[in-house]
């Protein structure tokens, strides 16, 4: 009989862990790439001897800020506002009215535009947020149209025809914004700063509660949160952000009109967010780029360019309900 120890049985092999696909894409990296490419626009415009390129992309950046602000409440609070363009108008008219009276500093314009926007957002939100669904939409539409018709009635400031600015806002007494490239980088800096602010908001405890109210407001109330306060705060923040885009829009166009505040403009902002991807923040930026580039391109061929835009929107909604941002996430391995 052998004294050698009995062979031990090897433990059964554990089932192999599922392989995870490497994360090739992140929203932070995508934002960095988009903003980095945007920063090259003035250089490309200079090399191609096409100064209009800088002007056109400054306008795109302005509306990207407005769409970003709308996505904060639409994507994370499920608040469909058809009066959001009113806040853009408040910022624009702050520039026009104060400049007419000799006050040209951009920091004063920003303070006035944000102040009016915050007051209007508090009043609108305090009423609209006590309703839901189509009633909320109609109340925001009504308040937006009230603002539109108010500025239409101001004949001293151009009324329905709008008002041309004598010059752009000054920065501490200097005419820095008179240069298109400087205005472009100021607008890009504002977009990056507001994007980081919005990202910090949605990733905070406040943002998680806001997202919870989107999913089930009654349940959030049952566990001790008051959805109204969080929704109103988000509504006010979004309005203030949109007013900053209005200040920059007035400087870019050197013209202000009540048309900036119409419900059509609010509808266009909603289209930008849907097209880019609701609830992604970056989707509003991407949507603004795509919509305004399509406008520039399609208007070359026809005055009915909105039909082409509508077709693109339908295709995106049918084949990528999460918008362009969701499409890229799926293609690059993070989509479900």
Question: Could you report the per-residue pLDDT of 119-159, keeping only the tens digit for each?
Answer: 999 999 999 999 988 999 999 999 999 999 999 999 888 88
**In the chain, where are the structural domains located?**
51-262
Lowest mean pLDDT among 77-81, 163-167, 232-236, 323-327: 323-327
**pLDDT score at 269:** 94
Give mean pLDDT, residues 271-289.
Answer: 91
- Candidates 242, 321, 184; CA nearest to 64 is 242
- Identify the DSSP state of 281: S
Q: Is the dihedral of CA 71, 72, 78, 84 positive or negative?
A: negative
Predicted confidence (pLDDT) at residue 78 exceeds the cutoff of 90: no
Q: For 216-266, write each residue's pLDDT tens digit.
A: 778 888 888 888 999 999 999 999 999 999 999 999 999 999 999 999 999
Give mean pLDDT, residues 275-299.
Answer: 89
Q: For 5-58, write each residue's pLDDT tens digit.
A: 444 444 444 444 444 444 434 777 888 989 999 999 999 998 998 888 999 999
Q: Which helix (H) or strand (E) holds 37?
A: helix 27-39
CA dihedral angle for residue 315, residue 320, residue 323, residue 324, rounded to 10 degrees: -90
Cβ atoms of 295 and 60 within 8 Å: the answer is no
Give mean pLDDT, residues 279-296.
Answer: 90
Q: What is the mean pLDDT of the chain?
A: 87
**Bridge partner residues of 174 (DSSP):** 171
Cβ atoms of 183 and 252 within 8 Å: the answer is yes
- Candidates 79, 56, 107; CA nearest to 253 is 56
- Write down the pTM of the prediction: 0.88
With H, G, I as helix, E, B as strand and everything else as coil, classify residue 161. helix
Question: What is the per-residue DSSP string for 179-229?
Answer: SHHHHHHHHHHHHHHHHHHHHHHHTSHHHHHHHHHHHHHHHHHHTT--HHH
Report the alpha-carbon distance of residue 201 to residue 211 in Å, rounded.
Answer: 11
**pLDDT score at 23:** 43
Cβ atoms of 89 and 147 within 8 Å: the answer is yes
- Identify the DSSP state of 255: E
Cβ atoms of 83 and 145 within 8 Å: the answer is yes
């Amino acid at each position: 009989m052998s004294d050698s120890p009995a062979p031990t049985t090897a433990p059964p092999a554990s089932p192999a862990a599922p392989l995870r696909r490497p994360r090739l894409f992140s929203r932070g990296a995508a934002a960095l790439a988009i903003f980095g490419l945007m920063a090259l626009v003035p250089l490309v415009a200079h090399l191609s001897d096409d100064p209009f390129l800088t002007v056109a992309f400054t306008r795109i950046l302005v509306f990207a800020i407005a769409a970003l602000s709308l996505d904060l409440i639409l994507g994370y609070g499920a608040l469909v506002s058809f009066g959001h363009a009113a806040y853009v108008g408040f910022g624009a008219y702050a520039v026009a009215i104060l400049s007419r009276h000799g006050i040209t500093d951009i920091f004063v314009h920003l303070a006035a535009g944000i102040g009016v926007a915050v007051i209007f957002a508090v009043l609108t939100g305090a009423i609209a947020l006590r309703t839901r669904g189509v009633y909320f939409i109609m109340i925001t539409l009504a308040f937006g149209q009230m603002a539109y018709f108010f500025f239409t009635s101001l004949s001293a400031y151009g009324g329905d025809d709008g008002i041309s600015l004598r010059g752009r806002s000054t920065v501490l007494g200097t005419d820095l914004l008179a240069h298109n490239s400087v205005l472009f980088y100021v607008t890009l800096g504002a977009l990056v700063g507001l994007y980081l602010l919005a990202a910090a908001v949605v990733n905070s405890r406040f943002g998680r509660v806001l997202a919870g109210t989107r999913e089930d407001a009654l349940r959030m109330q049952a566990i001790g949160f008051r959805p109204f306060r969080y929704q109103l705060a988000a509504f006010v923040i979004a309005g203030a952000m949109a007013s900053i885009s209005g200040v920059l829009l007035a400087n870019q166009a050197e013209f202000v009109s009540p048309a900036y505040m119409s419900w059509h403009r609010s509808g266009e902002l909603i289209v930008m967010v849907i097209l880019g991807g609701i609830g992604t923040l970056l989707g509003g930026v991407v949507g603004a780029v795509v919509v305004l580039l399509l406008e520039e391109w399609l208007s070359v061929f026809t005055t009915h360019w909105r039909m082409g835009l509508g077709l693109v929107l339908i295709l995106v909604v049918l084949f990528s309900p999460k918008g362009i941002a969701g499409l890229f996430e799926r293609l690059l391995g993070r989509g479900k």
